[in-house]
Chains A and B, each alone.
Chain A
Amino acid sequence: MKKRRNIRLLLHAKLQSFSKLKNFRGYKKGEWTGFYFVLPSFLGVIIFMLLPFCDVLRRSFLGAVSGTWVGLENYRTIFDNTAFRLAAGNTLRFEMVCIPLLLLISLLVALVLDDKLKCTQLLKSCFLVPMAIPVASIVLLWRALFHERGMFSGFLHFLNLPGEDWMNTPWAFWILVFSYVWKNLGYDVVLWMAGLAGIPANLYEAAQVDGAGKWQCFWHITLPNLLPSLFTITVLSILNSFKVFREAYLVAGNYPHESMYLLQHLFNNWYRDLSMDKMSAAAVINAGVIFLLVLLLKRAWDFGER
């Protein structure tokens, strides 16, 4: 905490001196070196993210092809649009189910692996294998497993139960959830383990000397020290969750079962049909929601820090 306060003071001092600065010659040599290193990626973000997003913002108030000013009409249209409501609802539901599930399972696995098992490295690698499997292969696996005449239906037939085209049933959503958790578990485990490795061992030793048990150590030392990691892992997991569209799209095309019809499906189809107006408005709403979510998480983290 002391270190953070020092950084703030230093930053404050720098800003003050910058405002008083008449020219840059007063600055120490090498002061801008870091900035130069950041500059290319910063330019990339501006050119490929911020400027296009400004254009998206502009287009959200214009007609699709004519470019005429329509005000908030596009926003009104998308909120009246049943496809948007369904996609947004499904996406929200997916996030609400997947993110806590992934964070919890990956934390549990990380804690087990952190217990200095003999085969920690091997298990860690095993958990990372799904990340290395190409999406196309996963899609083939899905089809082989969940097709009407696939392996899962075959197994059910073996038990005298009826098979189904699982990707065209409400189970499709849970298959998507499983796929996301399975694929990203290893990544989150590695992130949690990095967080666990950053906790000083002497804290646990001191607690044990004071008679603390495993649960107390976890609750009073591990969890509070993992909070900074929680923020990063949550944000990364949310961003990764949007990538699950690739599997959903490849396995079921533009129009999957309605339970796994996500915002990306809608955006994809709008783009195909030249509905740039609706797409821009929905993209602004989407970006706004994610931005707010990240801010909330940040605030929660800051609150936890204090």
Chain B
Amino acid sequence: MRKGKKIISFALTAALAIGTLAGCGSGKGDEGSGEKVDTGRENTKGRYLEEDVALPENTDRIYDLVQLEDGTMRIATSDTDGREAVWDLKEDGASWEKVYDMPQEWRCSDSFYMGNVTLSPKGDAIALTSGMLEADSEDSEQHYYHLDASGAINEIPDLSEEYTYFMDYTRDGVPLILRQNCPVSALNTDTGELTELDSGSDIAFFSVAGNTVYTVTYDGEVLSYDPKTGDPLPKDENLADSVTQSGMSLSLTNLETMPLIFCEDKTEENLFYCGSAGLYRHVKNGTVSEMLINGELTSLGSPDVGVKAMEQAEDESFYIVGKDSAGYKLMHYTYSKDVSTVPDTEIRVYALYDNSEIRQNITQYQKANPDVFVNLEVGITEDNGITASDALKTLGTEIMAGNGPDLLVLDGMPVDSYIEKGLLEDVSDLVESSEGLFDNLISAMKQDGKLYCVPLRIGLPLVEAETSYLDKIQDLTTLADVAEEMKASDSEMLVLSKYTNGAMLAAQLYDACSPAWVKEDGTVDQKKLEEFYTQIARIFDRDEYDEINMNLMGMGDISLHDYQSSIGGGVLELYCDKIMLNMGNITNLATLSMLYTVNQDKEGYGFKYLNGQAENAFLPKIMVGINSKSEQKEEAGGFLQFLLTKEAQKADQATGLPVQEQAFDELCDAWSDDGSIGVGDANDPDSFLQMDMKKPDQAAIDQLKEYICQADTPAISNEIIREAVLKQADDCVLEKITPEKAAKEVVNQVNLYLAE
């Protein structure tokens, strides 16, 4: 008995001791370690590979894709000249045969345009057009046309005036439309009669698979209907759960693509659904869904890609129509049994904050290298809600444990400390072998002849005003002189927006001034900082500052400094004669377009490079470096080189201007001029400001390019210093503290940080 007790007590003791060791695991999957994908790295083979199908020449838009009853894939397109046509994919799977050009009877006036075309598996089609019959009319009309298999066109009479969002055909050739605030309806193409499905009117979008209609409500609920009877089908709970668990967003962001599309196979037993998470197979009324294509390994997962239509071919491959920032494309997914299910090589990339350009580049790289999986781990996400400091500590733990990422996106990280510790590899050779980079930007990032991090994008400080004022601005002091001159003028316009507080003003000037604050020993120059605060206090318009409105807009939070530092925020106010002076960073071509529009529409206005306390400063963005402890430096280097290619640099999500010259040129060429922006208070119609943006001409593009070529001084990108400087600015411009005290407070804090 005693022996038994001893054994039990010893076992319990051992269990206790072993239990305490449970926390010693690798920590994979911890929230703080960022979002990770379980790659399930096994030696299994078989994966769907993606390739783009070459589209008919000059294709600008794909309206629809359908598989005809004989198995042929058909698309409806318009070309760059605005001519619509229907094409069949030939048996070789690579070339197209035109079925017919769409007749132009629908073009009632010059303002009419083709809104949408949907194709039936039986060969006919419906076209939806919109426009104004009279040039001076204010009311837009929608017309519906039916095209038979030969392309003969007939207008569908007496159709409702409600705006139509989406159209689709069932396999049996029943056309369905979704109108604003209406249920999904079956359309009689002869009479225009609509038979409403019992779907309610809170439908965000719908998709047809075979002869079943799948709707997604604004609440994200997936329901199905029989289009013949109009009745709802028994709810497939497992389908709804599977869609939710896939993590796909079901929010409709535009009317050209949909978050979720469906199709089914010939047996009508398997349902396929596709979105940003990938393509899934679901056995109807079955219990589980199977991921066939992982969105993260293909274009589907790219943040700029949306899907529009999908069909499964007879060889079980998939055709998906998608749209990315470059335009429409037809993606073909074929199953390869020889390729590893999960790519053999994994490159781990760590970023403190999520970044759309990097995600887009990852998709591009994986598509070109199917055997490589680039795993982006994001430190701070909406889900984990941890602080930057905690995320960095978790990253440090992983690095010290030899489990660090291969590539680091260094924005928000202590770059100098990492360089000092030898964490970052010298990438000079890799970068120097990349073609077409702006050399001045790369050279500026070098330390002692070595390049430890390279920016993938940049921001440039600019100032915008009347040219008579602009000519006088040479540095921060002359900028303040001009601001005071503006205040003294009789103009009814304000100098700055009344919502601009001290932190915003400091953020707008920070990058043009911060390089001048660093002394040779690495500490911050208090005198220079005092000068900065003195000048921004001169520029600031205390008499017009509207603190109440500013607070209502939530602009007091310095975490918004990225937004605050943009020149884009003030362009509209300057354009509409509300303010006289606008400055900040340009980080995208849309802002160039706005600046150019001001120059064109307002005589005597212009913009120039803002030299503050420093000359030719620029803000490095998306800085990347290779972990010197990585075991895959070569692979990480390959990816880094790809990030600097023209193809990758053309990924434009407005984070910054490219550092590759050709990418900059091509992005400028491709920029469209049909945008319009507006802002205003819904309760005050007079407050509405609007601008129809113009495409920048070559002179404006060359002007900006010249500024990029001049830039040779990187701004201080350290977040701790930036926050400390902006924190004191509010009190300083409101004269609650003197510039001297503000500078002293910053220096105390920052030098403590630097001393560490």
Contacts and interface: CB of A to CB of B under 8 A. Distances in A.
A255 interface: yes
Contact of A258 (B392, B418, B748): B748
Contact of A272 (B21, B400, B414): B414
A255 B720 contact: yes
Nearest to A168: B745
A56 to B, nearest CB: 12
B399 interface: yes
A173 interface: no
Nearest to B388: A272
A272 B399 CA distance: 12
21 contacts: A36-B13, A40-B16, A43-B17, A43-B20, A44-B17, A47-B20, A63-B421, A65-B423, A65-B629, A66-B421, A66-B422, A83-B752, A83-B755, A86-B752, A254-B389, A255-B752, A269-B756, A271-B396, A273-B392, A274-B399, A274-B414
Query: Which secondary structure dominates chain B's binding surface?
Result: helix
A73 to B, nearest CB: 13
Interface in B361-375: none
Interface of B: 9-10, 13, 16-17, 20-21, 389, 392-393, 396, 399-400, 414, 417-418, 421-423, 628-629, 720, 724, 745, 748-749, 752-753, 755-756
A36 B9 contact: yes
A44 B16 CA distance: 10
A261 B13 contact: no
Interface of A: 36, 39-40, 43-44, 47-48, 63-66, 81-83, 86, 168, 254-255, 258, 261, 266, 268-276
A47 B571 CA distance: 62
Given A168-B745, A255-B720, A271-B393, A65 B628 contact: yes
Given A43-B20, A82-B752, 16 more contacts: A40-B13, A44-B20, A47-B21, A64-B422, A66-B422, A86-B752, A255-B749, A258-B752, A261-B752, A268-B389, A272-B392, A273-B414, A273-B417, A274-B414, A274-B418, A276-B400
B755 A274 contact: no
Nearest to A63: B422
Contacts of B720: 254-255
Nearest to B9: A36
B425 to A, nearest CB: 11
Contacts of A40: 13, 16-17, 20
B756 A270 contact: yes
A272 to B, nearest CB: 5
Nearest to A37: B13
B215 to A, nearest CB: 45
B753 A64 contact: no
Contact of A275 (B389, B753, B756): B756
A254 to B, nearest CB: 6
Contacts of B393: 271-272
B421 to A, nearest CB: 4
A153 to B, nearest CB: 13
Among all A-B residue pairs, the 5 with the closest Cβ atoms: A273-B417, A83-B755, A64-B421, A83-B756, A82-B755
A65 B20 contact: no
A268 B392 CA distance: 11
Contacts of A36: 9-10, 13
B756 A266 contact: yes
Nearest to B751: A82
B738 to A, nearest CB: 15
Contacts of B752: 82-83, 86, 255, 258, 261
Nearest to B416: A273
Nearest to B2: A29
Contacts of A274: 396, 399-400, 414, 417-418, 421, 423
Contacts of B417: 273-275
Contacts of B748: 258
A272 B719 CA distance: 13
Nearest to B397: A271
Contacts of B755: 81-83
Contacts of A268: 389
A47 B18 CA distance: 11
Contacts of B389: 254, 268, 272
Contacts of B628: 65
Contacts of A65: 399-400, 421-423, 628-629
Nearest to A271: B393
A126 B399 CA distance: 47
A275 B421 contact: yes
Contacts of A86: 752
Contacts of B418: 274
Contacts of A82: 752, 755
A47 B753 CA distance: 33
Contacts of A276: 396, 400
